[in-house]
Amino acid sequence: MNLAEGVQFVSFGILAATTIAAALGVVLLENIVYSAFLLGGVFISIAGMYLLLNADFVAAAQVLVYVGAINVLILFAIMLVNKTEVFQPMKNAWFRKGATALVCVGLFALLATMVRSTSWAVLDSVAPIESTAIRLGEHFFSDFLLPFELASVLLLISMIGAIVLARREFVPEETDAQREVVFRLPERPREPVGAIGESSSASENS
């Protein structure tokens, strides 16, 4: 093992451990704000994985879109739904969790045996692509042009849909009395300027 492979292996180990630990924290921690920040940790370590896989453009996109947009969006949603709610305990909650954990461990065992027993047709010489951004641009504008345009339309649709869904439909009607109350600033009643001058001069004289 030369130096480059050793560095790759160690960094893969660190990133994998961080990913799994942070993902477990996202799922298992009680406080949801901690979960949201740990989710950012998962995204960043997966971006590191992409760098190990010779994909710099997608790593940058992962950091920009996931950490910069989706994670911040989730934090905003947590702040908007600011409710410390004590969930009512359910019957047989332990049974549900146990059964789910069993199914998940079984699924992982199935996938692991499949991964280990399949003989993957790995290319002999893994030559990293020189410039992934140029390669991705060629793909986007030649053979993936229709999905690319559809994705842009989908983004527009989802933006409009999110605005329509999250907008407050009910605008409370206000009466004239309320409007007067609203527009009055809470401050001391004004005194005429001359009165203030007289009172101050009177106090100075006395």
Taking the C-alpha atoms of residue 182 and residue 164, their distance in angstroms, rounded to an integer, is: 28
- Select from 38-46, 171-179, 180-188, 189-197 the region that touches another protein (CB under 8 A): 38-46
Is there binding between residue 44 and another protein (CB under 8 A)? Answer: no
Provide φ and ψ at 174, rounded to 5°. Answer: -115, 140
- List 20, 145, 195, 196, residue binding another protein (CB under 8 A): 20
Task: Please say which residue, 157 or 196, places its beta carbon nearer to another protein.
Answer: 157
Q: For residues 78-107, which are near another protein according to CB under 8 A?
A: 78, 80-81, 83, 85, 87-88, 90, 96-97, 100-101, 103-105, 107
Is there binding between residue 123 and another protein (CB under 8 A)? Answer: yes
Task: Please say which residue, 127 or 202, places its beta carbon nearer to another protein.
Answer: 127
Task: Please say which residue, 121 or 202, places its beta carbon nearer to another protein.
Answer: 121
- List 14, 145, 155, 196, residue binding another protein (CB under 8 A): 155
Print the binding letters for residues 58-77 with another protein: x by CB under 8 A, - otherwise: x--xx--xx--xx--xx-xx
